[in-house]
Structure 1
Amino acid sequence: MPELERIPKVKREGSERFHSSGKDIGFDLLGFWRWSASDVVSNATRGRLAEYIIAKAIGAANDVRDEWAAYDLLDPRGISIEVKSAAYIQSWHQNRFSTISFNYPKTHAWDSGTNRQSGVKCRQAEVYVFSLLAHQVQATLDPLDVNQWEFYVVPTAVLDARTRSQHSITLKSLRALHGPPITYDGLRDAVATAAELHRAALSA
């Protein structure tokens, strides 16, 4: 069997039709998107939504999301970003709000172009954006409202230097480390500042 090269990503429109060997069978790609991703409160979809919101804020949403990239986003300025999300309110029945914490473990990077994994565990991105859907009223919860989110933008070097935990961080610890959250409008500048601090720490 010959080697199979990586399949290039194609940005689709949603109007593409499902078919049977070229014969239209009555539904389109947009219907699949609606079926599979309409529950934006669910954990899996909310994580991708957080990535998209941040990508729009920094101007990195023109391409197609890369499911297998070593990090979640690449800023047009060349800054690699990892996005983590959490929420108080989930899509399932709850007796209480979820306790907020974020995992940020070191990983082996995998290159989809070569199908090879790196030998060293590390944090792949220069900047982490911890994204909290902070709204606490279920009746008015709307993940599409960027004002219901809080963003904490942290240089990876700061996370690497933590002594309390190298795997996760509670919201209380994150706020102590970061200070007040960043709004959607402040994300672009905050990412640039965090990247500068990360690079300065590496060169010190």
Structure 2
Amino acid sequence: MNDKPLKSETPILGTDHIILDFWQWGFSKILTNNLRGIFAEFLIGTALGCLNQLRVEWDSFDLVYKDMKIEVKSSADIQAWHKEKYSNISFSIGAKKEYDYETNKYSPTVKRNADIYVFCLLKEKNLELIEPLNMTQWEFYVALTKDLDIHFPHQKTISLNSLKKIAHPSTYEELKKTIDGLL
């Protein structure tokens, strides 16, 4: 399997298409839950300058920055499927077994496997204005895993109000400084 980033002009062999065609078709609706989450991981990686390896699906953490494992979580008031009301903002923080891709086994221990959690909130509430590519529409909350373990030891999810008790919002521009201040 190729562990190098694809280039947009890479041909899809046996067709008259390139990989950019696939990306545009399959990955343009960033407001969907799965793509918003992956996009949030990308945003944190760009803010910290730590996109030095390709994303690993279902890894026990999302990024590594200064030898610290980072878990990125995403939520939004507006979902891709329009509802009559805003979503309740919550983020997954449940402990899990760590999967080892080298041994193809799960660890016996259930825990939060990252050192830091970054919670990304796409906060725009106007369906006509929402634009995930606009960094002014995002807020980022950074929490050390040890603080989550102290304040919310057995919770599987955390609400925005509970999160605000241990973390303050940061902008995209402030994110690196916020994280560096916790290290």
Give the equivalent residue in structure 2 for 1:74.
64
> Which structure is higher in strand share?
2
Classify 1:124/1:165 alpha carbon distance in 2 versus 1 (closer, same or farther; 3 Å): closer
Give the equivalent residue in structure 1 for 2:20.
30
Matched, 1:98 2:87: yes
Unaligned runs of 5+ in 2: none
Q: Confirm or deny: 8 A CA contact 1:160 1:166 kept in the other structure.
A: no
Residue identity in the other structure for 2:42: Y
> Which structure is higher in helix share?
1
Q: Deviations 1:55-99 (Å, cap 9, x if unpaired)?
A: 000001232112243200111x11110000000011112110111
Q: Confirm or deny: 8 A CA contact 2:94 2:154 kept in the other structure.
A: no
Shift in Å, 1:137? 1.1
SS at match of 2:151: coil
Matched, 1:136 2:125: yes
Give the equivalent residue in structure 2 for 1:183.
171
Match 2:136 to one of 141, 144, 147:
147
TM-score by length of 2: 0.94
Q: Confirm or deny: 8 A CA contact 1:17 1:29 kept in the other structure.
A: yes
Structural RMSD (CA): 1.5
Matched, 1:18 2:12: yes
Classify 1:182/1:86 alpha carbon distance in 2 versus 1 (closer, same or farther; 3 Å): same
SS at match of 2:97: coil
Matched, 1:174 2:163: yes
Residue identity in the other structure for 1:146: M
Classify 1:68/1:97 alpha carbon distance in 2 versus 1 (closer, same or farther; 3 Å): closer
Kindly tell me the number of residue pairs found equivalent between the two proteins. 183
TM-score by length of 1: 0.85
Residue identity in the other structure for 1:87: A
Classify 1:8/1:115 alpha carbon distance in 2 versus 1 (closer, same or farther; 3 Å): farther
Q: Percent identity among equivalent residues? A: 35
Computing the radius of gyration over CA atoms, which structure comes out larger, 1 or 2? 1
Range moving further from structure 2, 141-150 or 56-65: 56-65
The separation in 2 between residues aligned to 1:164 and 1:110, in whole angstroms, is: 21
Classify 1:108/1:35 alpha carbon distance in 2 versus 1 (closer, same or farther; 3 Å): same
Unaligned runs of 5+ in 1: 1-6, 197-204
The separation in 2 between residues aligned to 1:81 and 1:14, in whole angstroms, is: 28
Q: Deviations 1:85-130 (Å, cap 9, x if unpaired)?
A: 0000111121101110111100111111221111101111100001
Range moving further from structure 2, 169-178 or 153-162: 169-178
